[in-house]
């Protein structure tokens, strides 16, 4: 059964092909993806590699975790399923706490 690996610490110049070719040294790579920023298209510095079976995935972790690729030290581990990750707070929306709108400061007394 295929096993997906998380690969962190990627150089911004590492391509999907380079990631695939590197991990192919450990066994059959089913897929290799470098995650990119939606706005700029630039690498976000991490990706995922899916290995054909558990033994090859374990070999890839052993071979690449803590090792260098394109001048950067990689962090390789088994990827966690999407539902197991904690939800991130914050993010979207715009909130201006305490803003009541309007103009000016306090009350004027015109006596």
Q: Report yes or no on 90 lying in a domain.
A: no
Phi then psi for residue 77, to 5 deg, are -150, 170
Q: Report yes or no on 36 lying in a domain.
A: yes
- Global pTM reads 0.73
pLDDT above 90 covers a percentage of the chain that reads: 69
Q: Report yes or no on 110 lying in a domain.
A: no
- Mean pLDDT, to the nearest integer, of 13-40? 96
Q: Which domain holds residue 24?
A: 3-80
**Which residues, 6+ apart, have CB-to-CB distance to 95 below 8 Å?**
none
- Mean pLDDT, to the nearest integer, of 34-45? 95
pLDDT in tens, 42-95: 999 999 999 999 999 999 999 999 999 999 999 999 998 877 666 666 555 555
* Cα(46)–Cα(35) distance, integer angstroms: 6
Total domains present in the chain: 1
- Mean pLDDT, the chain, as a whole number? 86
The domain that contains 60 carries what CATH number? 3.30.70.330
* Cα(49)–Cα(5) distance, integer angstroms: 5
């Amino acid at each position: 059964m295929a096993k997906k690996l998380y690969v962190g610490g990627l150089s911004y110049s590492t391509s999907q092909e380079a990631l695939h070719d590197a991990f192919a040294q450990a066994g059959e790579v089913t897929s290799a993806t470098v995650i990119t920023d939606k706005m700029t298209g630039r690498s976000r510095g991490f990706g995922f590699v899916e290995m054909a079976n558990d033994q090859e995935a374990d070999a890839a972790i052993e071979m690449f975790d803590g090792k260098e690729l394109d001048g950067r030290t990689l962090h390789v581990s088994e990827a966690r399923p999407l539902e197991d990750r904690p939800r991130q707070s914050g993010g979207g929306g715009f909130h201006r706490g305490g803003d009541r709108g309007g103009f000016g400061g306090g009350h004027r007394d015109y006596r």
